[in-house]
Structure 1
């Protein structure tokens, strides 16, 4: 356990420093690549540079909170996440209003709140769990743990990055359409992220359930659990779909003051097409987590590649013909392509012996 903690710490420090240096040095180039409109490029750079500078704070929090969850303590990371969110709001108001720090103030608020949350989470973890107390000898002969962590982490990290990488291509197309398109799409995507978070929560639940029953060789319980989780997930997706469609204008007003008719048009197009397709995201989430929890890492990885290629190809390949509509259909088509592989893979695996 201590060897694993040491390996995680080494990898986290290495990749935090590497990503911070690369991204901060290339921040101006990223602004250009993303085709951010000139009238908001300075604010975009100010926000992005600070957030990239604080990459280590995000990694630090995720590292500590996941260690606590692995030890069976899921409450403490939640408490500090709530603390971080409340502190973030307070610092936003403090830095932007009295301190007049502008958009950079919002970025500093995010970085500082995450860093403090991670620090307090670490203090509580060290006090509660003796196993988190590591010494210099735990860092000796780390070759095998480092390789093992990289092998598992690469596939999982890539899967988590697929949506973000695809959204970069989508954002680039939106940015080329002007400020109104950027505003409408950004507000709509904020609402869209709620569905992603809910589906991620169900992924965490079914992953633990399937992996435990896979280890016990209980195929019947796996089938029952996946079926039940699918019903729950799709019920939640239906509620979110209806809520977003009926409240799409008030949702935009949460993020923008006095939105114009053109901004509403862009946000309406995106939400009206994507929200009814949340059922595809639900299928993708549950079947991918289930297949991976039964020891199959390559099918989810291949599905991620399908998802990435379809999202980028749809956005960039059809933008010249369909314009903004190519952004609206990119995610649903990507979800459909990945589902086609994972659902068939799941049922093929269930026909075989679990153990």
Structure 2
């Protein structure tokens, strides 16, 4: 059954939230892939394996962000064409973008297998953890093409107003992932390899199911022979939207990867604490990112339909929504930081919990900053100015990395310097993005 939503009509706030909620739930479910691995590994294998999975999570988030960025850019292209009611352009866009991103994904997989050892060294992973991390990554890389398949068709469906079906398929695969995680690690004693294999099985299921659903339920968007043309204007627009969005996503997550390297230099305890806390942190603020993506689809559809006044009102209502939402999430994370850490860490690891709580309360107090940044990313991508999202990310990343290195090197500040550098970067990028909008965009 189709669940398409037309974002060019009706109440803006209600339409945005009804469209965004499945995205939010879907991203939470997607994060559960690695969270379940973390919980199972932490409880049934040990701290060393937990640190390995945690560092792998940061690396995989960065690598996956490349594909997600390309798919988000394609989604913006399809949304604009959908708003303009150009079915032929949609089919040609699907053909061009699928070939492009599919090739990039295969090349990336080959590169990952060739460079797995240098990547582990780059992350400054302690020697006692490196072997476990390599074993985990070698298996997880096998599911990377299906990760592309799911994210590609999920974004195609969302671009034409269907955010419910991607959530449904992802939910099924997450449930299976939990089952296989426990079965392979606890019952079959496969260790860290079992956690990786469970994740790969789940990725294959969600990727294949969403492909079959799209082919069956959207025959008007199946690529035909006449759609397999290399339209230069469509290629240029797809390259611009996908390329800059990919760059923005990957640069943003590269900053996390660099921070992971600094964190690893503080030893296994801090490394394991960060591994757990960053997952909780990501799940806490990621709904704001999904709202920003929903807002992007809203703007892109209305941009294609030529409804500028609706876009302006959408900006106002979306900003209010995201500020209120992030303030509520901040309060929850700051108050519940310790119980949240204790979900994933066994009793007796008091120093590990202390470090994780410090991280969560530092980041959690500042979620409004990243919430506004996500809205800015979505807006600039949807109005064909994706390069500005890259500029904002570079500002945020540059501040984060520079301050993390400088502050953490001061003995009196230590690892807290890494934590505080992150929200400072968010707020500086917000200031630039809002300033640019008021100077250049509002009067156009």
TM-score of the superposition, structure 1-length normalised?
0.91
Write out aligned runs for 1:137-286 (5 A): 138-141=227-230, 145-214=234-303, 220-258=309-347, 260-286=349-375
What displacement does 1:267 show? 0.8
- 1 CA distance for matches of 2:442 and 2:98? 40
Q: 1:61 aligns with which of 146, 150, 174?
A: 150
What displacement does 1:287 show? 2.8
The answer for the alignment partner of 1:345 in structure 2 is 436
What displacement does 1:72 show? 3.2
What displacement does 1:120 show? 1.4
Q: Which moved more, 1:148-157 or 1:295-304?
A: 295-304
- 2 CA distance for matches of 1:214 and 1:193? 30
Give the 3 Å change call, closer, same or farther, for CA 12–288 of structure 1 in structure 2. Answer: closer
Give the 3 Å change call, closer, same or farther, for CA 141–347 of structure 1 in structure 2. Answer: closer
Partners of 2:146 and 2:204 within 8 A in 1:
yes
- 2 CA distance for matches of 1:16 and 1:291? 25
- 2 CA distance for matches of 1:20 and 1:214? 35
Write out aligned runs for 1:303-314 (5 A): 303-314=392-403
Cα deviation code 1:11-50 (max 9, x no counterpart):
1221111111111111111111101122222221111222
1:112 aligns with 2:201: yes
Cα deviation code 1:63-85 (max 9, x no counterpart):
12222223433221111011121
Partners of 1:17 and 1:56 within 8 A in 2:
yes
Q: What is the SS of the residue equivalent to 1:235?
A: helix
Question: Cα RMSD (Å) of the superposition?
Answer: 2.2
The answer for the alignment partner of 2:91 in structure 1 is 2
More relative contact order, 1 or 2 (CA 8 Å, 6+ apart)? 2
Partners of 1:80 and 1:121 within 8 A in 2:
yes
Partners of 2:245 and 2:381 within 8 A in 1:
no
The unaligned stretches of length 5 or more in structure 1 are none
- 2 CA distance for matches of 1:163 and 1:147? 24
The answer for the alignment partner of 1:331 in structure 2 is 422
Q: 1:40 aligns with which of 129, 143, 156?
A: 129
Give the 3 Å change call, closer, same or farther, for CA 140–291 of structure 1 in structure 2. Answer: closer
- 1 CA distance for matches of 2:303 and 2:234? 24
What displacement does 1:295 show? 3.3
Q: What is the SS of the residue equivalent to 2:366?
A: helix
Q: What is the SS of the residue equivalent to 2:105?
A: helix
The unaligned stretches of length 5 or more in structure 2 are 1-89
Q: Which moved more, 1:217-226 or 1:307-316?
A: 217-226
Partners of 2:184 and 2:198 within 8 A in 1:
yes
- 2 CA distance for matches of 1:73 and 1:243? 30
